[in-house]
């Protein structure tokens, strides 16, 4: 594996980084295991000093962290700043709430007394993606470090500078050696880490294929794992929706991070009475976006993260059209340096078309007309994925009823606002299992120990 920073806005190589040697690899695992033996016995207050300081550093130096993200994966600078700020809030949230979340829980047995205790389990191996270079790291670092675990992290090979910056952030905050370790490693070394008995858990955010591979390896080693994989979220528009409000969320939901978000709006399911107007307004709004330098505040369309990401997305669109889909907007790369693609809309997608089951990780929207609410729900559930989704209606009670019937891990009514550390994040089906963030996120890699006291005679 090659760790390289390519600027997707220019296509130019910025910097390369060598993989670590097997000797360095073993040394880092040993350091993490040694660190755990001390860190696990620290108090929540002691851990919070370091995690809070890391949060404060992010908040104070937003641009210092945002700019490498824009250079490495093309995120528009305003979005990059927002990610840094949210990452800071996540760390601060767990520094403040970890002790409360993991406090002993009193039980009420018929005889005697009992309670549940939460304790860390050890060294956790985390594999994280490029599309949110700091947020993904904060999502594992905040809860699992505060719980008393330590982390070995393999970040995506195309964002090595962000990966190194986050490790340095924690070191600057006072983290002891081995608490949080960034690993520039090969796939073989990644497998070796999961097999190593010093590793007690595996967390992945990535593709379905990666999830199957790592979950199988973790399962073979009887190690707990959490998997946050892809999504093909439905954006349901009912006949009583506020269309002006809805269109704004449709554009943001599909185009935030140039569409490279697991829980982005991807399948737009609109009831027949609003379908034509929605499609016309949505098409005009997407067509108005203008590509440019993602460092420029005025740019409204950034590049895809890499040339390979662009090539794959173009191939998916071509395959969809060959399968009978109609391209009503875009579908081509933009004639300029860098990995830019036109915002695109596909319609007339039949169940036998490969596009019906695929995730489009970029600025491509799939549009469906349906007869009514029941048809919208049936189509939303006709997916291998189950990460998130949204429904737009002026009747909030109706929105809640629809949300309850959708088979996903998350649903949003008249919004797609998931950027709150209090809200658990995760899905079902091919979107994976486990949760990150909220009070659930810190529970994934802790031992839930029952302790019972009772004066009972042994059975005869």
Q: Minimal CA–CA distance to 269: which of 349, 361, 379, 171?
A: 379
Instruction: Please confirm, yes or no, whether 272 is among the known catalytic residues.
Output: no
CA distance linking residue 375 with residue 217, whole number of Å: 39
Strands 344-347 vs 326-329: parallel, antiparallel or unpaired: antiparallel
Active-site annotation holder among 167, 228, 359, 444: 228
Question: Active site residue: 35, 262, 263, 436, which one?
Answer: 262
Distance, in Å, from the CA atom of 381 to the CA atom of 360, rounded to the nearest integer, reads 17
Per the annotation, the verdict on 126 as an active-site residue is no
Which 3-state string (H, E, C) describes the chain?
CCEEEEECCCCEEEEEECCCCHHHHHHHHHHHHHHHHHHCCCCHHHHHHHHHHHHHHHHHCHHHHHHHHHHHHCCCHHHHHHHHHHHHHHHHHHHHHHHHHCCCEEECCCCCEEEEEEEECCEEEEECCCCCCCHHHHHHHHHHHHCCCEEEEECCCCCHHHHHHHHHHHHHCCCCCCCEEECCCCHHHHHHHHHCCCEEEEEEECCHHHHHHHHHHHHHCCCEEEEECCCCEEEEECCCCCHHHHHHHHHHHHHHHHHCCCCCEEEEEEEHHHHHHHHHHHHHHHHCCCECCCCCCCCCECCCCCHHHHHHHHHHHHHHHHCCCEEEECCCECCCCCCCECCEEEECCCCCCHHHCCCCCCCEEEEEEECCHHHHHHHHHCCCEECCEEEECCCHHHHHHHHHHCCCCCCEECCCCCCCCCCCECCEECCEECCECHHHHCCCCEEEEEEEECCCCCCC
> 47 is written with which tokens?
């851990």
Instruction: Report the catalytic residues.
Output: 228, 262
């Amino acid at each position: 594996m090659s760790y390289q920073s390519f600027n997707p806005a220019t296509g130019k190589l910025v910097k390369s980084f060598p993989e670590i040697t097997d000797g360095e690899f073993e040394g880092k695992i040993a350091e993490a295991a040694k660190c755990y033996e001390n860190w696990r016995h620290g108090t929540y207050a002691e851990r919070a000093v370091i995690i809070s300081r890391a949060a404060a550093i992010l908040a104070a130096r937003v641009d210092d962290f945002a700019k490498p993200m824009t250079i490495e994966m093309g995120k528009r600078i305003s979005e990059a700043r927002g990610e840094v700020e949210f990452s800071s809030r996540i760390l601060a949230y767990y520094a403040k709430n970890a002790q409360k979340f993991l406090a002993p829980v009193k039980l009420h047995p018929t005889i005697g007394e009992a309670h549940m205790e939460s304790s860390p389990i050890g060294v956790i191996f985390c594999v994280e993606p490029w599309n949110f270079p700091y947020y993904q790291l904060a999502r594992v670092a905040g809860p699992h470090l505060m719980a008393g675990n330590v982390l070995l992290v393999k970040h995506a090979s195309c964002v090595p500078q962000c990966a190194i910056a986050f490790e340095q952030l924690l070191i600057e905050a006072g983290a002891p050696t081995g608490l949080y370790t960034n690993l520039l490693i090969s796939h073989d070394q990644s497998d070796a880490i999961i097999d190593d008995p010093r590793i007690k858990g595996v967390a992945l955010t990535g593709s379905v294929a990666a999830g199957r591979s790592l979950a199988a390896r973790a399962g073979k080693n009887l190690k707990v794992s959490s998997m946050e994989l892809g999504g093909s979220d439905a954006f349901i528009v009912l006949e009583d929706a506020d269309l002006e409000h809805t269109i704004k969320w449709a554009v943001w939901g599909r185009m935030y991070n140039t569409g490279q978000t697991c829980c982005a709006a991807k399948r737009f399911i609109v009831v027949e009475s609003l379908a034509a107007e929605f499609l016309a307004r949505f098409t005009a709004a997407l067509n108005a976006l203008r590509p440019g330098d993602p460092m420029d505040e005025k740019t409204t369309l950034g590049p895809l993260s890499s040339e390979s990401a662009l090539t794959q997305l173009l191939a998916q669109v071509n395959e969809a059209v060959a399968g009978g889909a109609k391209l009503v907007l875009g579908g081509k790369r933009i004639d300029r340096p860098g990995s830019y693609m036109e915002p695109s809309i596909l319609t007339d997608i039949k169940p036998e078309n490969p596009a019906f089951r695929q995730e489009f990780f970029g600025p491509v929207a799939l549009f469906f007309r349906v007869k009514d609410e029941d048809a919208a729900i049936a189509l939303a559930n006709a997916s291998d994925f189950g990460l998130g989704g949204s429904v737009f209606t002026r009747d909030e009670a109706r929105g809640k009823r629809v949300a309850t019937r959708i088979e996903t891990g998350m649903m949003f009514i008249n919004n797609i606002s998931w950027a709150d550390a209090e809200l658990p994040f995760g899905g079902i089906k091919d979107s994976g299992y486990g949760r990150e963030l909220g009070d659930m996120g810190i529970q994934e890699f802790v031992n839930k120990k029952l302790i019972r006291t009772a004066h009972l005679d042994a059975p005869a």
